[in-house]
Amino acid sequence: MEFGEHLKEWRGHRRMSQLDLAVEAGISARHLSFLETGRSRPSEGMILRLADVLAIPARDQGALFSAAGFRPRHETHPARRLEALPAPVIEAIRLILERHDPYPGVVFDHDYNVLDANAAFRGLAAMAGMTLQIGDNFLDAYLGPSPFRALVVNWPRTAADLVHRIRTDAWLQGPRSALAQRIERLSADPAVRAALETYPETERLPVLPIEIRHGIERLSFITTLTSFGSAQDALVQGVLIETFFPGNEATRAYFGEAGEPKTMRE
């Protein structure tokens, strides 16, 4: 694709008119039109300015630079394994996971493939009879026809909430997002589709606990997401750490004050 085609595709995806983008970028609509039709060639500074307004992820900016005849400024391929990240980032991630014990924590890339997880999260997967492998996709495991549907008491609501959240993430990733394709494929599953009909986006809750059945126990968790990377670091951009916190005193007591979680001791 030519530079102008890339630019027009991103502008359309962000639902901006030429005038909207031109005003935000501080250029004339005529100049923007010339850039999209190929009558004008952008400078590197102009590419960065337009990419900033369009919120184009660093890993996708390389295509714009290459199409305009420039060398990409940033790494264009995100990390597919934890060891590929910069050493300080690896150290920070592992420190977060270790200090989060005895509660579950997991690291994803921008497509929600598992990069790492602590023992407690692996214990949750084991409850469902699943062996967690690096590279496994969390969305496939949670939304697909897996044992999680029986393990999670409020699976329909959490599944619908997850789909709504991922659709937003996928839109931010751009018009060619592989994440968008994955989430729409998973949303076609009858159980997921039924969950979405029952819990539309307009009924999303600000905090949604995940309730897990384990024998006679009912465990309740709330989760938080921590993102790594700046807009200039494609290798790290999109890396997420999801950490689980006890949603009630019973769950806190179940895991104990310290040490390995009960699910790993039994």
* Domains recognised in the chain with CATH numbers: 3-67 (1.10.260.40), 82-265 (3.30.450)
Radius of gyration (C-alpha) of the chain in whole angstroms: 21
Rounded Cα gap, residues 235 and 226, in angstroms = 16
Residue 3: per-residue pLDDT: 96
From the list 102, 100, 159, 112, the residue with the least C-alpha distance to 138 is 112
Residue 79: per-residue pLDDT: 63
Give 215-257 pLDDT, tens digit per residue.
778 899 999 998 876 555 666 777 899 999 999 999 999 887 4
Region 29-56: mean pLDDT is 96
Spatial contact of 74 and 232, defined as CB atoms under 8 Å apart: yes
Handedness of CA 32, 33, 34, 37 (dihedral sign): positive
Rounded Cα gap, residues 100 and 255, in angstroms = 12
Q: What are phi and psi of 75, to 5 degrees?
A: -55, 135
Give 59-114 pLDDT, tens digit per residue.
888 889 999 999 887 665 666 678 878 888 889 999 999 999 899 999 999 899 99
Single pTM value for the model = 0.86
With vertex at residue 102, the alpha carbon angle to CA 99 and CA 105, rounded to the nearest 5 degrees, is: 70
Residue 38: per-residue pLDDT: 95
The percent of residues in the chain predicted with pLDDT above 70, rounded, is 91
Residue 88: per-residue pLDDT: 85
Residue 228: per-residue pLDDT: 73
Residue 71: per-residue pLDDT: 87
- The alpha-helical segments, DSSP class H, found in the chain are 3-13, 18-25, 29-37, 44-53, 58-67, 87-100, 119-127, 138-143, 148-151, 155-173, 178-187, 190-198, 249-255, 262-265
Q: Give yes or no for residue 260 having a pLDDT over 60.
A: no
Q: Token pair for residue 69?
A: 């005849």
Confidence of residue 46 (pLDDT cuts 50, 70, 90): very high
Region 147-152: mean pLDDT is 89
Q: What are phi and psi of 96, to 5 degrees?
A: -60, -45
Residue 264: per-residue pLDDT: 44
Q: Give yes or no for residue 261 having a pLDDT over 50.
A: no
Residue 240 C-alpha from the chain's centroid: 7
Region 33-58: mean pLDDT is 95
